[in-house]
């Protein structure tokens, strides 16, 4: 069996009994950085063959792990911290396993996303995890444009020293919104900083952050009839097709019914 195992993101005690049992039972452990994983593995007296499994060698290592599985070896995949695949290596291997119908499972546990969401105090019933934005500004802007009207909380990972740059980009693309930056999650100096996009940040940006931004404010069209709602967008210059599509999305009504209103209005 191949296991994707969650490991602590800071506090080494944040690991499940099952995760320890699996890591002690497998033949091979694939790690992002074997040196980084050793303190955790040594704490729980886990002595196994370690293989480096990183972004730059993911395809090559996936082949190696599949070959080991074919030899009858059991394998655990871990990341430096948290859950594999979640902004960490593992997706390539998952794709290969599904393609070749090789069984695998997940041993869930620690991740930075959910604790940060709870610490932020922002909307948690609906959120979008975006993770790390691309380095190239153009690609990052395309992604942000796609989520600019989303009403749920937007969650980003931010590399050390990139917080100011990322916050400025978010302000340029999303405008002034409430935001919360969380770092050192589960560690002694766990910190939460609340600010507004566009403000100058007055806290130390060193460290890996989870950056959470409130969703777009949704206008209340409940006082309008569907016909009045469509007319509002037509007046703004939208085509009938664009107006109907927008109203259908905002009201949760079928386009076919809304098109009848436009036709009846002609």
Can you give the CATH number for the domain in which 34 is found?
Answer: 3.40.1010.10
Residues 6+ apart with CB under 8 A from 17: none
Among 44, 78, 107, the domain boundary falls at 107
Q: Is 154 in the same domain as 177?
A: yes
Give the separation between CA 217 and CA 175, rounded to whole angstroms: 11
Q: Is 103 in the same domain as 126?
A: no
Q: Is 209 in the same domain as 120?
A: yes
Question: Does residue 254 or residue 97 have the better pLDDT?
Answer: 97
Residue 264: what pLDDT? 58
> Coil, strand, or helix at residue 141?
helix
Give the separation between CA 165 and CA 194, rounded to whole angstroms: 17
Tokens linked to 140: 């990052």
> pLDDT digits over 184-194, tens only?
999 988 999 99
Q: Is 173 in the same domain as 256?
A: no
Give the separation between CA 46 and CA 34, rounded to whole angstroms: 13
Q: Is 73 in the same domain as 130?
A: no
Q: Is 51 in the same domain as 140?
A: no
> pTM, whole model, 2 decimals?
0.77
The pLDDT mean for the chain works out to: 89
How many structural domains is the chain composed of?
Answer: 3
Q: Judge whether 154 lies within some domain.
A: yes
Residue 228 is classified by DSSP as H
Q: Is 101 in the same domain as 117?
A: no
Q: Averaged over 219-242, what is the pLDDT?
A: 76
Which CATH number goes with the domain that contains 160? 3.30.950.10
> pLDDT digits over 80-99, tens only?
999 999 888 889 999 999 99
Q: Is 49 in the same domain as 139?
A: no
Residue 215 is classified by DSSP as P
Q: Averaged over 104-115, what is the pLDDT?
A: 95
Q: Is 11 in the same domain as 36?
A: yes
Q: Is 74 in the same domain as 23?
A: yes
> pLDDT digits over 140-181, tens only?
999 998 898 888 999 999 988 889 999 999 999 888 899 999
- Domain that includes residue 237, residue range: 226-265
Q: Is 120 in the same domain as 188?
A: yes
Q: Judge whether 36 lies within some domain.
A: yes
Give the separation between CA 257 and CA 172, rounded to whole angstroms: 38
Among 213, 236, 253, the domain boundary falls at 213
Q: Is 20 in the same domain as 62?
A: yes
Give the separation between CA 183 and CA 203, rounded to whole angstroms: 11
Q: Judge whether 221 lies within some domain.
A: no
């Amino acid at each position: 069996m191949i296991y994707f195992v969650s490991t602590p993101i800071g506090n080494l005690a944040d690991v499940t009994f099952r995760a320890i049992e699996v890591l002690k039972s497998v033949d091979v452990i694939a790690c992002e950085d074997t040196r980084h994983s050793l303190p955790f593995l040594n704490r729980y007296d886990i002595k196994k063959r370690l293989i480096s499994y990183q972004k730059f060698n993911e395809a090559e290592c996936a082949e190696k792990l599949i070959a080991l599985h074919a030899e009858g070896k059991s394998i655990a995949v871990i990341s430096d911290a948290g859950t594999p695949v979640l902004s960490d290596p593992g997706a390539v291997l998952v794709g290969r396993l599904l393609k070749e119908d090789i069984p695998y499972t997940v041993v869930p546990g620690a991740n930075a996303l959910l604790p940060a969401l709870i610490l932020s105090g922002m909307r948690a019933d609906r959120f979008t995890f975006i993770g790390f934005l691309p380095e190239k500004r153009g690609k990052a802007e395309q992604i942000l444009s796609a989520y600019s009207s989303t009403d749920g909380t937007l969650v980003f990972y931010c590399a050390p020293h990139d917080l100011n740059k990322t916050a400025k980009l978010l302000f340029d693309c999303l405008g002034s919104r409430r935001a919360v930056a969380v770092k050192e999650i589960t560690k002694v100096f766990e910190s939460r900083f609340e600010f507004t996009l566009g403000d100058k940040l007055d806290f130390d940006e060193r460290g890996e952050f989870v950056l959470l931004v409130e969703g777009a404010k949704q206008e209340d069209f409940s006082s309008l009839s569907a016909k009045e709602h469509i007319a509002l967008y037509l007046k703004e210059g939208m085509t009938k097709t664009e107006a109907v599509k927008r109203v259908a999305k905002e009201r949760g009504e079928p386009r076919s019914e809304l098109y009848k209103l436009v036709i009846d209005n002609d």
